Amino acid sequence: MKNLWIVIVFSSMVLSSCGGSEGGSANETSTSDFQTKLSNTSWVKECSAYNKFPSDDLKDAWNVKIKLSIDSSLNSTYRTEYFHPNDTKCNSMMFDALDISKFDIRGKVISEESIDANGLNEIFNYNSGNRDLPPNYTLIYIDSEKLYFGQKSAKNSGKTLETRHSSISLDNYFRKVIK
């Protein structure tokens, strides 16, 4: 009987240690898989309304088309083309801007909509408008050939780790460019 008790205790220890390490590596593997899925991709957000200063009374100050490229090191380049507010088909570009950032994928986060997304810390390195862009603490999610980012909410501005975006708009996405 004494040997049976030792076998049960030892088996429990082995099972719990295996389960603990497996969970940790599974999260690391899923983050690594997501990074692989994201690297060396190109995305486009077709003509959509954009208000550079949401607090202004102007509802839609511009229409924009955004092209996003992500390299193997997860460096991202956004090229935003700006169109007159009346140009809802984005036919005649007025000017464009370039933003370059680094994506740092931070593991799984469940959004308010119960979407299994990843945390994203985005650090901006360059922009053509010489604006000082703060880091963006958001969510990132891929569903087939659509790429989604988190969105601001009353509590979650995305300005700090503690206020990381917690919501994703499924109406606002980039479509994958197939080469």
Please state, for a pLDDT cut of 70, what percent of the chain lies above it. Answer: 78
SS (H, E, C) 7-39: HHHHHHHHHHHHHHHHHHHHHHHHHHHHHHHHC
Residue 33 lies in a domain: no
Residue 10 lies in a domain: no
Structure tokens at 6: 């030792």
Q: Per residue in 4-59, pLDDT tens?
A: 443 333 333 333 334 333 344 455 667 889 999 999 999 999 999 886 545 444 55
pTM for the model stands at: 0.77
Number of domains observed in the structure of the chain: 1
Structure tokens at 30: 């899923």
Lowest mean pLDDT among 31-35, 101-105, 130-134, 158-162: 130-134
Residue 126 lies in a domain: yes
Residue 143 lies in a domain: yes
Residue 102 lies in a domain: yes
Q: What is the residue range of 156's domain?
A: 39-176
